[in-house]
Chains A and B, each alone.
Chain A
């Protein structure tokens, strides 16, 4: 296919994909969530049901994008995600990182922006899934640790947001605090997108000139390690967060090369 025709196709296919995502989300909120609310079971069962449905929908969405030739997703060591009650962390190079990851996680509690919680279209699905808002403070850390104590898998993005150039951004220390509070190790998933695309500030139609190659590398867990006696909570979180970011920087360097 000549470059211009290929570009037009990629813009149209990308527009279709995002429209599908938007209308699919609306349909999910209007038709699926109310049905789930009526089904028997306690709050946990209802949340798991909703999370599983989102997992399946995201899986189908990724397959549509792959079918359209927009991207190809490769997941390495996916079996490492199967154990319940894990604290999964990931870098955040693209708009669709949560979609790629949740499509591999039948159950995952997510932390979403307060704006998403306030969005009338998304709110009911987010609440029905038991997701949290990323309000600053100790209550969020406690809530996250509580979910892990119930053997629920938790997904966090330590960068908090995407960067404008797709490079690794600074890490906030919330994930490290959750790991220290819960006693659970961090399970890093390294996400690599080539060529860099779907970054912060990019418009949907600013598409790459070729198929995106997305690699999700599920890595060995990182524990807090030995901390000297008397190490403050803040210092421990800084050290663990710094180790985690160094780990990501090295892995991404390897994937780049």
Chain B
């Protein structure tokens, strides 16, 4: 089972690779919409990448409830 730090690193890597966010500082408080400008299509792509990496499936309602990177990490950490 990955540690919390490994989950944080994995989520940051997915966001950086998928959305060209290499020059943006990412931390647990980073807001997905306000800071990273993720839209509804990005949310689907992010979920697909996270599903590939973790084997977890994210329902639409779960995706809508994710506001920050910390929320994603908590969600994955709680289910792995």
Contacts and interface: CB of A to CB of B under 8 A. Distances in A.
Contacts of A238: 19-20
Nearest to B46: A234
B40 A235 contact: no
Contacts of A174: 39, 41
Contact of B41 (A177, A230, A235, A239): A177
A232 B40 contact: no
A141 B46 CA distance: 17
Interface in A72-126: none
Nearest to B45: A234
Contacts of B49: 232
Interface in B24-80: 38-42, 44-46, 49
Instruction: Determine chain A's interface SS by DSSP, over half rule.
Output: helix
Interface residues of A, number: 16
Contacts, number: 43
B6 interface: no
Contacts of B42: 173, 234
B20 A239 contact: yes
B80 to A, nearest CB: 23
B17 interface: yes
A232 B39 CA distance: 15
Contacts of B39: 136, 172-174
A164 interface: no
Interface of B: 17-20, 38-42, 44-46, 49
